[in-house]
Amino acid sequence: MKLNLIEEKIEVELEIILVKNKNITNDIEILEKLDFQGEADTTALLPELGKLYVGCGEPQSDNIRCAVAGAMRIFATTNFNEALIEASNDEFLREIVEGIELGSYEFKKYKSKKDDKKKTKKTINILVSKVEPNIIEIFEDAINLTNSVNMVRDFVNTTPEDFYPKIMAKKAKKIATQNNLELKIFGEKYFKEENMGAISAVGRASRHDSRLIHLTYKPENALKKIVLVGKGLTYDSGGLSLKPADFMVTMKADKSGGSAVLGIINAVSKMKLPIEIHAIVGAVENMIGGDAYKPDDVLVARNGKTIEVRNTDAEGRLVLADCLCYAQDEIKDFDYIIDYATLTGACVVGVGHYTTGIMGNNIELNNKLQECALRSGELATVLHFNKYLKKTIKSKIADICNISNTRYGGAITAGMFLDEFIKDENKQKWIHCDIAGPAYVEEVWGCNPHGASGAGVRFSVEFIKNLISE
């Protein structure tokens, strides 16, 4: 999709008209015959007039974004190649650009037959009051952000046969090269030297060696330093605690947290934000085999804590435990540390497919990230730690158990497990984001397609931008 900013209205094949508050002023008779009343998430294509009406509901940011994304899906099915959309008073320019880019996304890598309609590159002209520096900056930032989201979608949608730890490291290297970032990649030898027994155990039965990836963006005169840690399970079979067949499908999406971390640092570096970012990914494949780690094993994490394994399908928290320890040992004087993971089905049960669960010890910080999520168009809610649940992850034979002894509160107990690997001086700086719900959904929703959504990128960039104005 090609996007142009224009100052004067031009003749195009298709005009996309956003209907706000059901306020229809033109083509009323035709639209009434189609029973189009301008409600949110409804569209009316009038091909003979070259118009596409899209209902927005109330003129709010995410309503605009989702309406434009819906329009792009309709536009993609037509033979029209050029369209125009008006950014009234430039108020929602960012949302319009994001809606165009996010709504135009398709993942067709594995389709053998290509759609002829999609071969011609389509053009969208965005009418603004004046193409001036601040408008161009909004436009370019939205492009950089959505390109990063769509990159994450590609990573997550790619099959495990084509995307394993070595490939994830290659993708990180490409991001580093494009953005002049520092890059460190560690493997099994390093894990052994640093006593990282948790991450090492999870990947032990895979034919693909695990990787720890560390990307660094260091702008001059950085205002803050943030550490991002992502769960990069390129595939999760459940290990010896094997998942049922139906639950194994979509587990290519278990790398969503690590992919999000790569997307965030890519966006921040392209936007040249004055915030130092460290992006750390534990890239691992959890498989079965004669060398697989087992329930009843006791693992030793980098910080010396011992972990009783009672379920090998609770592997993401083991990977994150060592990655969080690495981050706190190797990166000094950071302001925040945030981890991202498709960690628990319990979070999906608790808050639904579309919502991220935010956890941590600092309630004010958790609330701030939630506010940024909602502003960015991502759904999130805070799940509070519960002192009564802490006893459910105690172990009789080790320091801690990798699963709770109750089926209830699983998202929170997983977050409390991670808290055991956060140093006391960093507990108020840490946030845990369980993106198991929104990371991969097998239906179209809002501005998201079937499959990967790129969850976490938009709200994290919003959070980082917010730090600049503090």
Structural domain boundaries, residue 58:
2-131
Both 105 and 187 in a single domain?
Answer: no
Q: Using pLDDT thresholds of 50, 70 and 90, give the confidence band for residue 116.
A: low
Does residue 151 sit within a domain? no
Average pLDDT along the chain: 96
Both 225 and 274 in a single domain?
Answer: yes
Q: Using pLDDT thresholds of 50, 70 and 90, give the confidence band for residue 89.
A: confident
- Whether 64 has a pLDDT exceeding 60, the answer reads yes
Chain centroid to CA 367: 19
Both 187 and 59 in a single domain?
Answer: no
Both 326 and 404 in a single domain?
Answer: yes
CA distances from 470 to 110, 145, 151, 223 (A): 45, 21, 29, 10
- Whether 114 has a pLDDT exceeding 90, the answer reads no
What contacts 24+ positions apart, CB below 8 Å, involve 102-106?
102/65, 102/69, 102/146, 102/149, 102/150, 102/447, 102/448, 103/68, 103/69, 103/70, 103/71, 103/72, 103/73, 103/447, 104/1, 104/72, 104/76, 105/150, 105/153, 105/449, 106/76, 106/449
Does residue 138 sit within a domain? no
Does residue 144 sit within a domain? no
- Based on the residue annotation, tell me whether 317 is a catalytic residue of this protein: yes
Average pLDDT of the residues in 323-331: 98
- Based on the residue annotation, tell me whether 243 is a catalytic residue of this protein: yes
Question: Do 135 and 128 meet the contact criterion of CB atoms below 8 Å apart?
Answer: yes
Percent of the chain past pLDDT 90, that is, above it, reads: 96
- Whether 328 has a pLDDT exceeding 90, the answer reads yes
Is the sign of the CA dihedral 60, 63, 69, 75 positive or negative? negative
Does residue 169 sit within a domain? yes
DSSP states of 90-137 = GTTHHHHHHHHHHHT----TT-SS--GGGTSPPEEEEE-S---HHHHH
**Per-residue model confidence (pLDDT) at position 394:** 98
Residue 92's CATH number: 3.40.220.10
Single out the catalytic residue among 204, 231, 317, 465: 317
Both 21 and 95 in a single domain?
Answer: yes
Both 118 and 185 in a single domain?
Answer: no
Question: Do 215 and 172 meet the contact criterion of CB atoms below 8 Å apart?
Answer: yes
- Whether 120 has a pLDDT exceeding 90, the answer reads no
Both 114 and 231 in a single domain?
Answer: no
**Per-residue model confidence (pLDDT) at position 1:** 87
Both 374 and 455 in a single domain?
Answer: yes
For residue 67, the SS3 value is: helix
What is the spatial distance between Cα 104 and Cα 82, in angstroms, rounded to a whole number?
14
Torsion angle, alpha carbons of 40, 463, 354, 240, to 10? 160
Does residue 153 sit within a domain? no
Question: Per-residue pLDDT tens for 225-282?
Answer: 999 999 999 999 999 999 999 999 999 999 999 999 999 999 999 999 999 999 999 9
Q: Using pLDDT thresholds of 50, 70 and 90, give the confidence band for residue 117.
A: low
Average pLDDT of the residues in 122-133: 96
**Per-residue model confidence (pLDDT) at position 90:** 85
Single out the catalytic residue among 166, 225, 243, 368: 243
Average pLDDT of the residues in 184-189: 98
Both 284 and 355 in a single domain?
Answer: yes
Question: Per-residue pLDDT tens for 374-409?
Answer: 999 999 999 999 999 999 999 999 999 999 999 999
Question: Per-residue pLDDT tens for 18-49?
Answer: 999 999 999 999 999 999 999 999 999 999 99
Domains: count for the chain: 2
Residue 165's CATH number: 3.40.630.10
Burial 284-319, CB ≥16 within 10 A → b, else e: bbbbeeeebbeeebebbbbbebebbbbebbbbbbbb
Residues 6 or more apart whose CB falls under 8 angstroms from that of 388 comprise none
Both 260 and 122 in a single domain?
Answer: no
Both 55 and 183 in a single domain?
Answer: no
Both 414 and 319 in a single domain?
Answer: yes
End of a domain among 95, 112, 131?
131
Question: Do 168 and 257 meet the contact criterion of CB atoms below 8 Å apart?
Answer: no
End of a domain among 72, 96, 131?
131
Does residue 103 sit within a domain? yes
Does residue 73 sit within a domain? yes
Does residue 94 sit within a domain? yes
- Which residue shows structure tokens 């509070």? 384
Q: Classify residue 448 by its DSSP letter.
A: B
